[in-house]
Amino acid sequence: MSERAAKVTPEEEQDDDQITDSAAPDAATESESTTDADAETTTEPVTSGAEAVVRALENAGVEYAFGVQGGAIMPVYDALYDSDIYHVTMAHEQGAAHAADAYGIVSGEPGVCLATSGPGATNLVTGIADADMDSDPMVALTGQVPTEFVGNDAFQETDTTGVTTPITKDNTFSSDSDRVGSDVSEAFALAREGRPGPTLVDLPKDVTKGETDREPDAPKVPDTYRVQERADPEIVDAAAERIETSNKPVMLLGGGVIKGEASEACREFAIEHEIPVITTMPGIGAFPEDHELSLEMAGMHGTGYANMAITHCDTLIGIGTRFDDRLTGGIETFAPDAEVIHVDIDPAEISKNIHADYPLVGDAETVVEQLADAVDASPEAKKWRAQCQQWKSDYSMAYEAPEDEPVQPEFVVEALDEATSDRAIVTTGVGQHQMWACQYWTYTEPRTWVSSHGLGAMGYGLPSAIGARLAADDDQEVVCIDGDGSFLMTLQGLSVAVRENLDITVAVLNNEYIGMVRQWQDAFFEGRHSASDYHWMPEFDKLAEAFGAAGFRIDDYDDVAETIEEAIAYDGPSVIDVHIDPDANVYPMVPSGGDNGQFALTEDQL
């Protein structure tokens, strides 16, 4: 919990005389006060649907909720007024969803976002879709017009469950004040059980205003939702034998490894059997990138060595990955010689994109332990490991940074990494800066990398830093590496960071371009920079100051280390406007649908 947690609002203190003393400005006592408050509030019976909703949140252990007020959700906010759940008012609902998403990534518990009906709900959509693509646990609560108006195109009405069906794990139109609390409890259980994902409960105003004395049921998934924890032992044995007899094995760790708390088990397995490890982008942090066996990230902008290894391996142990096209490139050339062992908790991921020769359905940690028990001998892969090391030196991730040139973005990312601890959390927007943040920051711990992977939602950086900050430990720095275009999309969130005094450092890698688009235009559209040139960018340092945050600016190498140090040391939100080389591009690169082994190292090779 951050220092912000101590800022219990005066209203909350007055409302609950029993906790007035314990709401001291000190994070350690804050959690106790929550417990006391829980114990106390549960003695008060609920009287309305809205109170039942809030009770369900409290029962689920919710500490923070991110949202924006509005007409149809007002009864819920009214009930929140008396709750110890800290509501973070966001400047835009998209930010609320991203903040909740990031909270879910960092804490492992579903993040909660709230919005009113109509535009409030539709503004959440990007963040919900993002959580769905990345399997992040999230609960979205949306207001809805009163039941009698539903379907009549009433003011601020949207068919929210209709809109969000394709992007939620499950959603519910809650139609009964007696049931609404339990609907929220169930949404919680579903969001985190099995493969995590976003759930949504649509709350008509009459249902939340309606009287009820029904306490919500305990969070429980419906009977029809079943999750298999352990993989079929016969296939485990067959897979184990395959691993033992392979000569060129690799492990591919996806986001599911982190969500399934399987990082430790995977590390032990890889190190014991000396198997090189690649991660997907959401899998960053599952394996320490400074370890000899790590080949870092594969895929479109993955390292050359990871892409060589994935292309040439004979056994691919994919864990918690859905083989996204940004990872695989063209299916025809993806690990074409490899027998694939695929561990996933979602049976539908098995053989969806890449055929699994050894399908292992189950919880990542459990299945990796099953595999560890079944594998008796390590594969004979000395030559393979040497080959991987050779590729590491052949295709090393290095860049030139001559003093007289504009600042190179890679240098800035490395400087930020150096200035922070191993447990620092990085959040990003989407674009070139995101790729540099993957490539040039050395991640060693799970849940320290927060990004929009599958959806690629620009604007994710700042609001996710807000959510990450509240979920992070006090001693973890939160650094948002953003791009100018991405930052511009949600920078109104700075007002939230300032109000809550969140210790966040935003480094905007500013090239006055939608850089990734510019890079593609250079490569594939004859350099025609249609609508990608953002030469009208504001001065972000001054903008930050206008919001009440600290503003910094970097123009050349001399400023980098010192300015970063100052910004990180600043106790509150700070923004560094880093003017980078506008021509810098991201390499290596596999053109979309291309062969991973044929990655380009320069523009000429595309």
Partner 1 sequence: MKRGLEGPSPEERPTPRGRRNKQGIRIDPEVEATYEPRRTVISALVEHEPGVLSDVSGLFSRRQFNIESLTVGPTEDEDLARITIVVEEPDPGIDQVEKQLRKLVPVISVRELEPDAMRRELALIKVNADRPAEVAAVADMYDGETVDSSPETATIEVTGARQKIEAAIDTFSQFGIREISRTGTTALARGTDQTAAPEAAQPADGANQETYTQTANDD
Residue 256 binds partner 1 (CB under 8 A)? no
By CB under 8 A, residue 29 contacts partner 1:
no
Nearer to partner 1, 19 or 356 (CB): 356
Q: Pull the structure tokens for residue 65.
A: 């909720």
Residue 62 and residue 112 in contact, taking contact as beta carbons nearer than 8 Å: yes
Nearest to 235 by CA among 323, 348, 341: 341
Residues 355, 382, 383, 542: which binds partner 1 (CB under 8 A)? 355
Nearest approach in angstroms of CB 473 to partner 1 is: 34
DSSP conformational letter for 332: G
Q: Which is nearer to partner 1, 160 or 263 (CB)?
A: 160
313-352 binders of partner 1 (CB under 8 A): 323, 331-334, 336-339, 346-348, 350-352
Min CB(589)–partner 1 separation in Å: 9
Phi, psi of 417 (to 5 degrees): -60, -45
How close are the terminal C-alpha atoms of the chain, in Å? 46
Active-site annotation holds for 156: yes
How far apart are the C-alpha atoms of 379 and 47, rounded to whole Å? 63
Near partner 1 in 365-394, by CB under 8 A: 394
Q: Out of 69, 89, 228, 442, which residue is the one contacting partner 1 (CB under 8 A)?
A: 228
Q: Distance (Å, rounded) from C-alpha 105 to C-alpha 288? A: 18
Cα gap 200→169, rounded to integer Å:
8
Least distance (Å) from partner 1 to the CB of residue 288? 23
DSSP E strands in 353-499: the ranges are 358-361, 425-428, 449-450, 478-483
| CA angle, 111 then 115 then 121, to 5° | 105
Examine residue 546 and tell whether it contacts partner 1 (CB under 8 A): no
Q: Does residue 354 interact with partner 1 by CB under 8 A?
A: yes
Closer Cβ to partner 1, 439 or 464, answer by number: 439
CA angle 113, 118, 124 (to 5 degrees): 30
Q: Is 583 in the site for partner 1 (CB under 8 A)?
A: yes
For partner 1, the closer of residues 271 and 523 by Cβ is 523
Q: Which of 205, 248, 259, 392 is catalytic?
A: 205
Short-list 142, 131, 141, CA closest to 196? 131
**Catalytic-role residue among 93, 186, 296, 477:** 93
Query: CB of 125: closest distance to partner 1 in angstroms?
Result: 15
Please choose, from the candidates 417, 443, 426, 433, the residue with its C-alpha nearest in 3D space to the C-alpha of residue 480. Answer: 426
- Please report whether residue 538 would count as binding partner 1 according to CB under 8 A: no
Closer to partner 1 by Cβ: residue 350 or 375: 350
Q: Clarify whether 155 is annotated catalytic.
A: yes
Q: Is 567 in the site for partner 1 (CB under 8 A)?
A: no
- The only residue of 18, 31, 165, 378 in contact with partner 1, by rule CB under 8 A: 165
- The question of whether 138 is a catalytic residue gets the answer no
Q: What is the C-alpha separation between 485 and 431, in angstroms, rounded?
A: 9
How many C-beta neighbours within 10 Å does residue 528 have?
8
CB of 604 to partner 1, least distance (A): 6
| Letter string b/e over residues 351-370, b meaning 16 or more CB atoms within 10 A of that residue's CB | eeebebbbbbbbbbbbbbbb
**Pairing, β 504-510 against β 550-554:** unpaired
Q: How far apart are CA 111 and CA 247, in angstroms?
A: 43
Angstrom CA distances, 523 to 414, 458, 526, 580, stand at: 26, 21, 7, 20
Tell me the pairing of strands 170-173 and 294-297: unpaired
For the chain, state the CA radius of gyration: 24
Q: Which of 25, 61, 162, 593 binds partner 1 (CB under 8 A)?
A: 162
Main-chain phi, psi angles of 478, to 5 degrees: -120, 120
516, 540, 547, 599: the active-site residue? 516
Give the strands of the sheet with 249-253, arranged side by side.
Answer: 294-297, 277-279, 249-253, 315-319, 339-344, 358-361
Beta bridge partners of 143: 203
Among 34, 311, 427, 511, binds partner 1 (CB under 8 A): 311
The minimum distance between CB 333 and partner 1, in angstroms, equals 7
Q: What is the 3-state secondary structure (H, E, C) of 2-47?
A: CHHHHCCCHHHHHHCHHHCCCCCCCHHHHHHHHHHHHHHHCCCCCC
Q: Which stretch binds partner 1 (CB under 8 A): 13-21, 202-210, 398-406, 553-561?
A: 398-406
Angle between the N-to-C axes of helices 432-440 and 515-524, in degrees from 0 to 180, rounded to the nearest 10: 100
Binding of partner 1 by 361 (CB under 8 A): yes
What is the pattern of x (binds partner 1, CB under 8 A) and - over residues 422-451?
Answer: ------------------------------
Contacts (CB under 8 A) with partner 1, residues 172-211 = 173, 190
Output the smallest distance, CB 465 to partner 1, in A: 29
| 122-161 binders of partner 1 (CB under 8 A) | 161
Residue 404 binds to partner 1 (criterion: CB under 8 A): no
Q: Which of 10, 153, 226, 376 binds partner 1 (CB under 8 A)?
A: 226
- Which of 29, 69, 122, 353 forms a contact with partner 1 (CB under 8 A)? 353
Rounded to the nearest angstrom, the gap between the alpha carbon of residue 499 and the centroid of all alpha carbons in its chain is 23
**Can you tell me which of 399, 520, 534, 570 binds partner 1, judged by CB under 8 A?**
399
Tell me which stretch binds partner 1 (CB under 8 A): 249-257, 377-385, 471-479, 578-586. 578-586
Q: C-beta of 455: minimal distance to partner 1 in Å?
A: 15
Nearer to partner 1, 355 or 542 (CB): 355
397 catalytic per annotation: no
Among residues 428, 435, 437, the alpha carbon closest in space to that of 482 is found at 428
Instruction: Give catalytic status of residue 220 as yes or no.
Output: no
CB of 397 to partner 1, least distance (A): 7
Catalytic residue chosen out of the listed positions 13, 69, 156, 566:
156
Asked if residue 72 binds partner 1 (CB under 8 A), the reply is no
Total of residues contacting partner 1 (CB under 8 A): 65
In 3D space, the residue among 399, 397, 415, 405 whose CA is nearest the CA of residue 507 turns out to be 415
At closest approach, how far in Å is the CB of 381 from partner 1?
17
Least Å from the CB of residue 379 to partner 1: 18
- Provide the binding-site residues for partner 1, judged by CB under 8 A: 161-162, 165-166, 169-170, 173, 190, 222, 224-226, 228, 231-232, 235, 304, 308, 311-312, 323, 331-334, 336-339, 346-348, 350-356, 359, 361-362, 394-400, 522, 583-585, 587-588, 595, 597-605
Catalytic residues: 93, 155-156, 205, 516
